[in-house]
Amino acid sequence: MDFTFQVINNIRTIFSKIIDENTLEDLNKVPKGFNNNIIWNIAHVVVSEQLLAYKLSGLQSVLSDEMINKYRKDTKPENDVTQDEVNDIKRLLFSTLENTKADYNNNVFKTYNTYTVSTTGNTLTNIDEALQFILTHEGIHYGYVLALLKAIKN
């Protein structure tokens, strides 16, 4: 799983640079034809990783219920995020992944509640499959963020 964690970390590094290189206004902008914005997508991958790895393993997420409910699947931005919230999301990009990697290496993930993902129809049955899907999911949202960047810059 080292490679999987490395690629997720690389995608999150790109997300961090996107946060740094764009204004708060641009991070919050929902272009015409889109349902969400850049910062929602970045926070969504953090939340999704925690739900897919921890919740489905019967473990506690480090994220607040408020954050989970704001960025989980089937949500959309209801208001602009503040710079403090952006800073928290940026920090969580790496701290959550570091925790997950450490917990994975320490065999913390012992059980897993089977879950069929809506985007691909695949059924996750263990933490290894979950991490592979998390990688795919983050790639999907990276593509979406690239489309949003193009839309807000035009």
State how far the Cα of 1 lies from the Cα of 4, in Å rounded to an integer: 5
* Contacts of 59 by beta carbon, 8 Å cutoff, 6+ apart: 53, 103, 108, 109
Nearest to 15 by CA among 75, 73, 97, 78: 97
Domains, in order of start, for the chain: 2-144 (1.20.120.450)
pLDDT of residue 132 exceeding 80: yes
Helices (H), 22-82: 24-28, 38-53, 65-71
State how far the Cα of 112 lies from the Cα of 8, in Å rounded to an integer: 21
What is the rounded average pLDDT of the residues 123-137? 98
* Kind and range of the H or E run holding 138: helix 127-153
Please tell me whether residue 12 adopts helix, strand or coil conformation: helix
pLDDT of residue 113 exceeding 80: yes
pTM: 0.96
State how far the Cα of 61 lies from the Cα of 84, in Å rounded to an integer: 21
Of all residues in the chain, the percent with pLDDT exceeding 90 is 97
Of all residues in the chain, the percent with pLDDT exceeding 70 is 100
State how far the Cα of 35 lies from the Cα of 40, in Å rounded to an integer: 10
pLDDT of residue 20 exceeding 80: yes
What is the per-residue pLDDT across 76-110, written as a single tens digit (0 to 9) for each? 999 999 999 999 999 999 999 999 999 999 999 99
Return the pLDDT at 103.
Answer: 98
What is the per-residue pLDDT across 50-61, written as a single tens digit (0 to 9) for each? 999 999 999 999
CA-to-CA separations, 133 to 8, 36, 140, in angstroms, rounded: 11, 22, 10
pLDDT of residue 119 exceeding 90: no
150 compared with 119, residue with greater pLDDT: 150
